[in-house]
Structure 1
Amino acid sequence: MIAGVRQLTNLESPVGQFLSQILVSHPHLVPAAVEQQLEQLQNDYEEENHKEEPSGSGTDIVLYRRIAEVKANERRKALEEMLYTLVVQKFMDKKISLIPSISADATGRVDVWPSLDEKLEGVHSSEAFEMIQNHLALILGDRSGDTSSVAQISKLRVGQVYAASVMFGYFLRRIDQRFQLEKAMKILPDQMGVKENEDEGQAPATLPMAYEDSTSFHQDKEQSSHPEVSPWAGGELGHGIKPSRLRSYVMAFDAETLARYATIRSKEAVSIIEKHSEALFGKPEIVFTSQGTIDPLREEHIKIGFGGLKRLVLEAVTFGSFLWDVESYVDSRIHFVLN
């Protein structure tokens, strides 16, 4: 069993438990099993949708609606856990072990996992990887290539960066699919090329909030309540951001298009991101000050190297990309929409 399948033991629905067992014992059978479960969910939905609401007493109607609500919640849970299983399977297919739950070794370090950077980078297009490099530059600054330095950092903050990077990966895959299609059809506008005079020191203001939030390591110390900022901030915000075709493509979107593409499509995907991040980092215990801000002195800190943080971010971006892929796959095979 690869590291990362640990989360599958917490799946609650019969469908999720069934698929997790197959994933561990016969991973090559997962696609066929998913198809079978999707067909069953579709049949159950259609059967439920064609039932007529009883015309009897108010009690009968209330009971009918309650049963329908319970069944709808069961379908939602089954879909969510099906999506999660498919994401984990994609990591297994690429022979990439997911990082286990964060815990320190005897030296206090948490990043005892192998880097696997090359494998994680290889699942993205060249244009998408340029954007990922910029994402890493915003987080690590000019020390993105430093794999030896270690720092104490808030576990909560690392978890926030991980979740934000998952959302960035989801957004990036969604945009890149459209970009690659237009590129293959040779219909990219001429202005989508890299502009030589583009400002390399300015992060694109039109990127989604998840992307901007992940740059929080580079806030001035005076503007941040997190004391770990200074050991990690290797440069000014936006330092090392390079122009790329995909970045120019995104920046040309109008506000409505960008908002549509920067939105996570289903509640199931949102729930997966939350639960996966919590499985990795645990549920944070947040203590607020009298001013309503998070008390940095009460936060749990972990010891992690730049190389370890880079691996976390690369995994998170890939997780988000895979989540978009499997969500699209499932959505194309059912006639009712994901929530």
Structure 2
Amino acid sequence: MYKCRPRGLTVRASGDSAGNPVPVSPLEFESPVGQLLAQILQTHPHLLPAAIDQQLENLQTDRDAQKEEAASSQDFLYKRIAEVKEKERRKALEEIIYSMIVHKFLDNDISMIPKISPTSDPTGRVDFWPNQEQKLESVHSPEAFEMIQSHLSIVLGERLVGPLETTVQISKIKLGKLYAASLMYGYFLRRVDQRYQLERAMNTLPKGFDEDRARFEDPSPANRLWDPDSLIRILPDSGEPDGDFTDTGEEKSYRLRSYVMYLDAETLQRYATIRSKEAISLIEKQTQALFGRPDIRIADDGSIETANDEVVSITFSGLTMLVLEAVGFGSFLWDAESYVESKYHFFNS
């Protein structure tokens, strides 16, 4: 057991006039395993899958050895050491999953949004990252992206099809809530889309599920983990809410939505549930790495005060990229978590 300096995953970007390495992910790696994977991502990213498999094998060997030792020892000090080692394994596992997510972004040539910090721009605008909508769209199935567009319409309203360079003033805490909610939506959507695509490929889709009903009802769990109240509702200039999200009239646009509507409430809620503590921790850490940790205090009168909230300016285009990255991150989180579980069982451990 030893301590390491946190390592931010960086690459040298040609756009940096000083030639300094530019972080490709906002969250820093802290464990020895995480730092090793960060170095491989930086220098030999094509070797990352093999390195991850090796690290998962090492974790399994370490866990098996500890179980054998535990069976022959009742010593209190040994139990304490075992708890510390288990905590270290969980930390390593978390960063293995995160490295896989970062690799997914790099593999699709998508630059992750850096930490949201004050800028020298006179308007206070913070979103100077590139427009990557097409790349972010390509990581989803067409049916899933239709549902993502509906999610965007909730956030942007009519701005979704209007001028996107207009700026809006918004607090970083609200942005963080929106990012986390969109991330969890992406996790849910990947999970249900995989089941839908499998059933469609096997020709086992249920017969007669109602296409029209999906157009007007929200195909999400009744008690969502992503709080709809945390989604930022930006009204059009008239101040009136926009109408229903318009469609192309093609049946395929609603096929996944109809399928989700067909599922019972218990199944939907199960699909919306994050499966591991490591995934929940990564959602929190990724959000805090982007927007900072809010300083929340309880006032004498019982009200909640936020001491360090900042108001920033962001364009509707930047807000769109923020939501699309979050949904993509959630989808990649589902993929990475599933792969790791197939190699190293850790759900409900």
Instruction: Flag whether TM exceeds 0.5 (same fold).
Output: yes
Q: Gaps spanning 5+ residues in structure 2: where? A: 1-10, 14-21, 248-252
1:129, distance to aligned residue in structure 2 (A): 0.5
> Superposition pairs for residues 1-339 of structure 1, below 5 Å?
1=11, 5-7=24-26, 10-54=28-72, 61-107=75-121, 108-145=124-161, 146-192=163-209, 194-195=211-212, 198=213, 200-204=215-219, 206=221, 209-213=224-228, 216-218=231-233, 236=241, 239-240=244-245, 244-286=254-296, 292-294=302-304, 299-337=309-347, 339=349
CA distance in 2, matches of 1:207, 1:170: 16
CA RMSD between the two structures? 2.6
Contact 1:98-1:315 within 8 A present in 2 as well: yes
CA distance in 2, matches of 1:27, 1:332: 22
1:240-260: per-residue Cα shift (whole Å, max 9, x none)? Answer: 276722122112222221121
1:212-237: per-residue Cα shift (whole Å, max 9, x none)? Answer: 5266323xxxxxxxxxx668997538
CA distance in 2, matches of 1:13, 1:45: 17
Contact 1:286-1:294 within 8 A present in 2 as well: yes
CA distance in 1, matches of 2:101, 2:310: 29
Choose 244-253 or 179-188, whichever is displaced more. 244-253
The code of the aligned residue for 2:36 comes to F
CA distance in 2, matches of 1:264, 1:4: 28
CA distance in 1, matches of 2:330, 2:110: 15
Secondary structure, counterpart of 2:232 in structure 1: helix
CA distance in 2, matches of 1:40, 1:6: 25
The number of aligned residues is: 322
1:189, distance to aligned residue in structure 2 (A): 1.1
CA distance in 1, matches of 2:25, 2:155: 28
1:21-47: per-residue Cα shift (whole Å, max 9, x none)? Answer: 111111111011001111111111111
Contact 2:26-2:113 within 8 A present in 1 as well: no
CA distance in 2, matches of 1:291, 1:117: 45
The code of the aligned residue for 2:108 comes to K
The code of the aligned residue for 2:87 comes to N
1:104-155: per-residue Cα shift (whole Å, max 9, x none)? Answer: 3322100111110000011100110011011001111111133121111111
Q: TM-score with structure 1 length normalisation?
A: 0.86
The code of the aligned residue for 2:165 comes to S
Choose 198-207 or 116-125, whichever is displaced more. 198-207
User: Higher strand proportion, which one?
Assistant: 2
CA distance in 2, matches of 1:258, 1:53: 40
Choose 112-121 or 298-307, whichever is displaced more. 298-307
CA distance in 2, matches of 1:43, 1:303: 50
1:242-296: per-residue Cα shift (whole Å, max 9, x none)? Answer: 6722122112222221121110000000001110111111112335566645558
1:30-87: per-residue Cα shift (whole Å, max 9, x none)? Answer: 01100111111111111111224456xxxx6211211111111111111000000110
Choose 93-102 or 43-52, whichever is displaced more. 43-52
1:163-203: per-residue Cα shift (whole Å, max 9, x none)? Answer: 110100001001000000000001101234622xx374543
The code of the aligned residue for 2:88 comes to E
CA distance in 2, matches of 1:328, 1:63: 34
CA distance in 1, matches of 2:141, 2:290: 27
Q: TM-score with structure 2 length normalisation?
A: 0.84
CA distance in 2, matches of 1:160, 1:193: 33
Contact 2:169-2:311 within 8 A present in 1 as well: yes
CA distance in 1, matches of 2:99, 2:93: 10
CA distance in 2, matches of 1:297, 1:38: 41
Contact 1:287-1:298 within 8 A present in 2 as well: no
Secondary structure, counterpart of 2:119 in structure 1: coil
Contact 2:236-2:242 within 8 A present in 1 as well: no
CA distance in 1, matches of 2:59, 2:224: 34
Contact 1:11-1:81 within 8 A present in 2 as well: yes
Contact 1:331-1:337 within 8 A present in 2 as well: yes
Secondary structure, counterpart of 1:29 in structure 2: helix
Give the percent of matched residue pairs that are identical in Structure 1 and Structure 2. Answer: 52
Choose 288-297 or 15-24, whichever is displaced more. 288-297
CA distance in 2, matches of 1:298, 1:19: 33
Contact 1:140-1:234 within 8 A present in 2 as well: no
The code of the aligned residue for 2:277 comes to K
